[in-house]
Amino acid sequence: MKREPELTTLCYIEKDDKYLMLHRVKEEHDINKDKYIGVGGHFEYGESPDECLKREVLEETGLKLLSYRPRGIVTFIYGDAKRPEDRIVEYMHLYTADEYEGELIDCDEGELIWIEKAKVSELPIWEGDKIFFRLLEERDDYFSLKLVYSETDELIETRII
């Protein structure tokens, strides 16, 4: 039996030519262990993408988003390629935000750090993330990006629509 797709949001909050990034160091069994990612997470039952985004950002950062915009949808496929029915398919709604209120809190998933946009690609991030960071900088339109990873987390297919 095939798995149901996962639905998630991811947001990069912008300030002074920096992104707020989450360095995932607190959970031992975490697919993102030691990587830098944005903030966001899984939909709760019945949530819209915007509702999930605002809830997850508030929970992880303590910040209430006042201005944000959807930038794209990223389809991830990863897991054991020998067992296609066990592959994970994730549809991630990608946002950027540039206005918020509140103060940063301690996040139980990692350390929140403001990173200069020009230095993001030097950090330990997923190979596919480098592609959508480039799209965020180069494009103003909404995009669709498909990223397929091997069972060893190597990026093996990319499709930009």
Any residues with CB less than 8 A from the CB of 148 and at least 6 apart, and which?
Answer: 76, 77, 78, 155, 156, 157, 158
Question: What is the pLDDT, as a whole number, of residue 8?
Answer: 98
Question: What is the pLDDT, as a whole number, of residue 36?
Answer: 96
Q: Tell me, yes or no, whether 154 lies in a domain.
A: yes
127 C-beta neighbours (distance < 10 Å), count: 13
Q: Which of 48, 31, 43, 3 is nearest to 129 (CA)?
A: 31
Report the first-to-last Cα separation within the chain, whole angstroms. 29
Q: Tell me, yes or no, whether 57 lies in a domain.
A: yes
Q: Tell me, yes or no, whether 100 lies in a domain.
A: yes
Q: Tell me, yes or no, whether 48 lies in a domain.
A: yes
Domain around 121: 6-160
Domain count, the chain: 1
Q: Tell me, yes or no, whether 1 lies in a domain.
A: no
Residues 57 and 67: beta-carbon distance below 8 Å: no
| pTM attached to this predicted model | 0.93
Question: What is the pLDDT, as a whole number, of residue 3?
Answer: 82
Q: Tell me, yes or no, whether 102 lies in a domain.
A: yes
Q: What is the pLDDT of residues 114-156, one digit of tens each?
A: 999 999 999 999 999 999 999 999 999 999 999 999 988 999 9
Q: What is the pLDDT of residues 21-71, one digit of tens each?
A: 999 887 667 687 889 999 999 999 999 999 999 999 999 999 999 999 999
What are the two backbone dihedrals, phi and then psi, of residue 134, each rounded to the nearest 5 degrees?
Answer: -65, -40
Q: Where are the alpha helices (DSSP H) in 3-143?
A: 49-61, 127-138
Question: What is the pLDDT, as a whole number, of residue 1?
Answer: 63
User: Per mean pLDDT, which range of 8-17, 22-31, 74-83, 129-138 is the poorest?
Assistant: 22-31
Beta strand 18-23 pairing with 111-116? antiparallel
CATH number at residue 131: 3.90.79.10
